[in-house]
Chain A
Amino acid sequence: MKKHLRLLPFVVPGLLLYAVLFLYPTVTALYYSFTNWDGMSPSYQYVGFDNYANVSKDIIFQKSLVNNMKFMLAVVVIQTIVSLMLALQIHKKSKVNVVLRALYFMPTILSSVSVGFIWSFIYDPTSGALNGLLTLIGLESWTQNWIGNTAIAIFSIAAVQAWAHIGQMTVLFVAGLQAIPPELVEAAKLDGASKVGLFFRITWPLLAPAAAIVVSYTTIQSFKAFDLVFTMTGGGPAYSTEIISTYIYNAAFMNYTFGKAATASVYFLVLISIITIVQFKLLKTDRVSY
Chain B
Amino acid sequence: MKKSYLLSLIIVFALVLSACGASNSGNKVNSSNNDGSKQNGEEVKISFIHWRGEDVAVLDGIVAKFESEYPNIKVETQVFPSDQYQATAQAKLVDGSVGDVFTSFPGAQFEAIAKAGLFTDLTSEEFVTNFTPGLIEAGQKDGVQYALPYQLVYNMPIYNVKLFEQHNVEVPTDWDSFLAAMETFKQAGITPIAFPGADIGPGQMMNTMVMNNATDEDIFVKLEAGEAKLTDEWWVKTLSQFKELSDKGYLQKDAVGTKTDAANALFIQEKAAILGTGSFQLAGNKAGNPELVQGLLAPITVSEDEVVFEGIHTTTFMLAVNSKSKHPEEAKLFLEYLSRADVAAEYANGTGQNVTVEGVQYTSDELKAVSEWTTKKTRFQPRFTISNAEVQKAITSSIQAVIGGTDPQKAAQDAQAIVDQQIGN
Chain A residues within 8 Å of B, Cβ to Cβ: 5-6, 8-10, 12-13, 16, 38-41, 54, 57-60, 120, 123-127, 145-150, 233-234, 236-239, 249-256
Report whether B393 and A148 are in contact in the complex, using a CB–CB cutoff of 8 Å: no
Query: Contact check: which of A13, A38, A239 meets B16 at CB < 8 Å?
Result: A13
Whole-angstrom distance between the Cβ of B139 and the nearest chain A Cβ: 18
Whole-angstrom distance between the Cβ of A64 and the nearest chain B Cβ: 12
Q: What are 28 A-to-B residue pairs whose CB atoms are below 8 Å?
A: A6-B1, A12-B12, A13-B12, A13-B15, A13-B16, A38-B115, A39-B90, A40-B112, A40-B113, A41-B117, A54-B421, A58-B421, A60-B418, A124-B259, A125-B254, A125-B257, A126-B252, A150-B404, A233-B198, A237-B256, A237-B400, A237-B401, A238-B406, A253-B86, A254-B108, A254-B389, A255-B388, A256-B90
- Which residues of B sit under 8 angstroms from A150, Cβ to Cβ? 400-401, 404
In the bound complex, what is the Cα–Cα distance between A41 and B90 (angstroms)? 10
Q: What 7 A-B pairs come out closest when comparing CB atoms?
A: A148-B257, A125-B254, A253-B87, A145-B254, A40-B116, A148-B256, A237-B400
- Which residues of A sit under 8 angstroms from B262, Cβ to Cβ? 124, 126-127
Known: A40-B118, A127-B262, A255-B389. A238 touches B108 (CB 8 A): no
Known: A59-B418, A250-B393. A123 touches B401 (CB 8 A): no
**B274-306, CB under 8 A of A: which get 1 and which 0?**
000000000000000000000000000000000
Report whether A148 and B12 are in contact in the complex, using a CB–CB cutoff of 8 Å: no
Count of A-B residue pairs with CB < 8 Å: 126
Report whether A254 and B116 are in contact in the complex, using a CB–CB cutoff of 8 Å: no
Residue B91 lies at the interface, judged by CB distance under 8 Å to chain A? yes
Query: Contact check: which of B8, B118, B198 meets A147 at CB < 8 Å?
Result: B198
- B window 102-135: CB within 8 A of A: 108, 112-113, 115-118
Whole-angstrom distance between the Cβ of B99 and the nearest chain A Cβ: 13
Known: A58-B421, A237-B404, A238-B404. A9 touches B12 (CB 8 A): yes
Report whether A254 and B418 are in contact in the complex, using a CB–CB cutoff of 8 Å: no
In the bound complex, what is the Cα–Cα distance between A250 and B397 (angstroms)? 14
- Which residues of B sit under 8 angstroms from A127, Cβ to Cβ? 262, 265
- Which residues of A sit under 8 angstroms from B90, Cβ to Cβ? 39-40, 256
Chain B at the A interface: SS class: helix
Q: A10-B12, A126-B254, A250-B390 are in contact. List 15 more A-B contacts (CB 8 A).
A: A38-B116, A41-B115, A60-B418, A120-B259, A125-B257, A125-B258, A148-B255, A148-B258, A233-B198, A236-B199, A237-B257, A254-B108, A255-B388, A256-B90, A256-B389
Known: A38-B112, A38-B116, A124-B262. A148 touches B421 (CB 8 A): no
Report whether A9 and B198 are in contact in the complex, using a CB–CB cutoff of 8 Å: no
In the bound complex, what is the Cα–Cα distance between A13 and B8 (angstroms)? 12
Query: Contact check: which of B116, B258, B393, B418 meets A126 at CB < 8 Å?
Result: B258
Report whether B417 and A59 are in contact in the complex, using a CB–CB cutoff of 8 Å: yes
Residue of B nearest to A124 (CB): B262
Residue of A nearest to B115 (CB): A41
- Count residues on chain B whose CB falls below 8 Å from chain A CBs: 50
Whole-angstrom distance between the Cβ of B239 and the nearest chain A Cβ: 12
Residue of B nearest to A150 (CB): B404
- Which residues of B sit under 8 angstroms from A38, Cβ to Cβ? 112, 115-116
Report whether B397 and A238 are in contact in the complex, using a CB–CB cutoff of 8 Å: yes
In the bound complex, what is the Cα–Cα distance between A148 and B406 (angstroms)? 13
In the bound complex, what is the Cα–Cα distance between A125 and B5 (angstroms)? 65
Report whether B401 and A40 are in contact in the complex, using a CB–CB cutoff of 8 Å: no
- Which residues of B sit under 8 angstroms from A251, Cβ to Cβ? 390
Residue of A nearest to B415 (CB): A238
Query: Contact check: which of A16, A57, A253 meets B88 at CB < 8 Å?
Result: A253
Report whether A9 and B421 are in contact in the complex, using a CB–CB cutoff of 8 Å: no
Residue B197 lies at the interface, judged by CB distance under 8 Å to chain A? yes
In the bound complex, what is the Cα–Cα distance between A40 and B118 (angstroms)? 9
In the bound complex, what is the Cα–Cα distance between A148 and B389 (angstroms)? 22
Query: Contact check: which of B86, B88, B421 meets A59 at CB < 8 Å?
Result: B421
Query: Contact check: which of A5, A8, A57, A237 meets B198 at CB < 8 Å?
Result: A237
In the bound complex, what is the Cα–Cα distance between A13 and B113 (angstroms)? 38
Report whether A5 and B5 are in contact in the complex, using a CB–CB cutoff of 8 Å: yes
**B380-417, CB under 8 A of A: which get 1 and which 0?**
00000000111001000110110010100001000001
Residue B248 lies at the interface, judged by CB distance under 8 Å to chain A? no
Whole-angstrom distance between the Cβ of B415 and the nearest chain A Cβ: 9
Residue of B nearest to A234 (CB): B199
Residue of A nearest to B1 (CB): A6
Report whether B257 and A124 are in contact in the complex, using a CB–CB cutoff of 8 Å: yes
- B window 206-260: CB within 8 A of A: 252-259
Residue B193 lies at the interface, judged by CB distance under 8 Å to chain A? no
Whole-angstrom distance between the Cβ of B269 and the nearest chain A Cβ: 10
In the bound complex, what is the Cα–Cα distance between A27 and B191 (angstroms)? 54
